Amino acid sequence: MAQSTQAQSSQSQVVLVVDFGAQYAQLIARRVREAKVYSEIVSHTISAAEVVARKPAAIILSGGPKSVHVDGAPKLDAAIYELGVPIFGICYGAQLIAQQLGGEVARGGKGEYGRAILRRISGSSSSLFTDSIGDQSPELTVWMSHFDAVTRTPDGFVATASTPDAPMAVIENNAKKIWGVQFHPEVMHTQQGTEILQRFIYRLAGCKPTWTMESIIDTQVKAIREKVGSERVVCGLSGGVDSAVAAALVHQAIGKQLTCIYVDTGLMRKNESVQIVETFHRVMGIELIHVDAGSRFFERLTGVIEPEAKRKVIGELFVRIFEENTGGLTDAKFLVQGTLYPDVIESGGQDGTASVIKSHHNVGGLPEDMTLKLVEPLRSLFKDEVRALGAQLGLPDEIIWRQPFPGPGLGVRIIGEVTPDKLQFCKKQILLCVKRFVMPVLSARFGKHLPCLLI
């Protein structure tokens, strides 16, 4: 099995987002990154010792679906509060701060869901809201999703804002560098939510906006070179955004040590194979093995109707052809994969708080006995960050903004048996769809579209 030893980013500052099962955990992490500060999502089971080892600049405690009063509700290692690392609790995170540090959290009578009006508590002094709620803006519209509420602050904390159903909607302890808000500043419905988060990140936690595409490239290029040394590296191009950006980044790091293999299944979108060869081989100068295997896939798919059966046929043949064409690269020691951060998160809900959506997969799967070590330079990035990185690396918009596409290609976008006539018709319709809805600059606005052949 390929060994996962990805090129890990070494960040000078990181904000840890502690996940208590929140639907918004990834959104919180993205909001931090939008402020050009690196963030990572970690389980609530993280220990104080592990936090110390990570040396975070700040910690954000996410919301969560449970009540702090129920048996088995997730907790935080109480020693983390004593580390002196700035902490910002959101919703459940704020309630947990209050409960664990000696305050009181009452079971709500009806809870607060949706919009609420947040008002400063008269006479209170806030370091979190100085620029947000003052004489010119005495109240804010915020987004709530809670049943319990803080009713007494722990010693050393003060309540600085309230809503009609949350008398202590904001609690602060400047001496301990701990703040909590009952609402969700990460969602767009909260007025000045971004400003509130950035005030914590920049002013209270002292983070600097240094996490940029340029810094990511510099960090990864250095890490890849250190990992790979002078060894040969192979990369399986799928035609998708992730493998394309991963290949471009690794090529920038090690140049001719990289060989890309593109297995043309004949099931790709119209002109896609030509564009891949043109971009990666002729324009970027990457050594590329282009395997035209369309006839082999058509032969194997004859008479196959069931979607999962087609997926299995395509996947198994892809692996076989990939193996055939790596056979000559006997000196290769590393394999590049376009694993993204959501793949890591969604594969990992080990303690049951985060939802396990899917296990990570690549095009067709990989040989189980492959001994290559993995290089996963995009492992810490979200999809939009990968697109931005691709632009910084000079990849054309047609590749960066390419629509998501399944590994088995049009084989699973055609209902029933795959025939040459059906395939050509489907390719033509996708091209028309691209011209109408995507080109030249509308892809980011329209999101996903999914042309399928149903008859």
Active-site amino acid positions = 91, 184, 186
CB atoms within 10 A of CB 222: 14
Handedness of CA 67, 69, 75, 80 (dihedral sign): positive
* Alpha-helix runs per DSSP H in 20-136: 25-34, 48-54, 92-100
Phi then psi for residue 220, to 5 deg, are: -70, -40
Q: Return the HEC string of 216-229.
A: HHHHHHHHHHHHHC
Give CA–CA dist 37/170, Å, rounded: 24
**What DSSP element (H or E) covers 375?**
strand 373-375
Give CA–CA dist 13/57, Å, rounded: 6
Beta bridge partners of 113: 145
Strand 158-163 and strand 39-43: pairing? unpaired
Long-range CB contact pairs, 212-218, < 8 A, 24+: 212/36, 213/388, 213/389, 213/391, 213/392, 214/392, 216/9, 216/381, 216/385, 216/389, 217/249, 217/252, 217/389, 217/392, 217/393
Burial (Cβ within 10 Å: 0-12, 13-18, ≥19) of residue 390: buried
C-alpha dihedral, 198 to 203 to 204 to 209, nearest 10°: 60
- Is the bond preceding 440 in cis, omega lying within 30 degrees of 0? yes
Q: Where are the beta strands (DSSP E) in 153-257?
A: 158-163, 166-173, 178-181, 232-237
How far CA 368 is from CA of 358, 359, 448, in Å, comes to: 19, 16, 32
**What DSSP element (H or E) covers 114?**
strand 112-120
Phi then psi for residue 18, to 5 deg, are: -85, 120
Give CA–CA dist 267/438, Å, rounded: 21
